[in-house]
Amino acid sequence: MAATHEHHPQAKVPTEVLDGAVKEYSRDRLYVIVAVVLTAITAVEVSTYYLTDIFKDRFLVATLLILAAVKFFLVAYVFMHLRFDKKVLTTIFYAGIALALALYLCVLTVFRYWTPDFSAIKDQMGL
């Protein structure tokens, strides 16, 4: 079906039909703030590579996973406009992520990634 606004190519969009898109703040300022936050998080991520005394083993893995998740959702929420757009789009995207995570967990489980056997195999291989 044709998009409504295509019938009014010169029309500017009224506030009432923006599905909550217009806020008091400047969007561009928000984008720059988010970019600064993303840069700071990336700096922390990279620092874990050097600060090996502080970030060890499971703490390192947990830290990096949390930081990556924060960056991921910041980009999706603000830059990809999930914050401002229809909720159904959020559902579609997160459904894809949930399926991907399910796939990820299933395959790793099938390959006995979580069981002691996997460690034993790694030890035998000298890994």
Partner 1 sequence: MASTTFEQAHESGLDASAESFHPVHDTNTGISNTKLAMWLFLGSECLLFGGLITTFLLYKHPLPGQGPGPKEIFDIPFTSVSSFVLLMSSLTMVLAVSAIERGDHHRTRAWLVATALLGSTFIAGQVYEFTSFYREGLGYTTSRFSSAFYTLTGFHGVHVTVGIIMLLSLFLLSVKGNLPEHKAETVEVVGLYWHFVDVVWIVIFALVYLIP
Site for partner 1 in 6-65 (CB under 8 A): 6, 8-19, 21-22, 26-28, 31-32, 34-35, 38-39, 42, 45-46, 48-49, 60-61, 64-65
Q: Which residue has the tokens 């291989």?
A: 125
# residues contacting partner 1 (CB under 8 A)? 71
* Element spanning 65, H or E: helix 57-74
Residue type, 110: V
Contact 56, 48 (CB under 8 A): no
- Interface with partner 1 includes 121 (CB under 8 A)? no
Could you say which of 40, 103, 117, 120 contacts partner 1 (CB under 8 A)?
103
- In the complex, the smallest distance separating the C-beta of residue 83 from partner 1, rounded to whole angstroms, is 11
Beta strands in 42-95 (DSSP E): none
For residue 22 the two structure tokens come to 């217009």
Pairwise CA distance, residues 20 & 122, whole Å:
53
- In the complex, the smallest distance separating the C-beta of residue 108 from partner 1, rounded to whole angstroms, is 7
Could you say which of 40, 51, 59, 86 contacts partner 1 (CB under 8 A)?
86
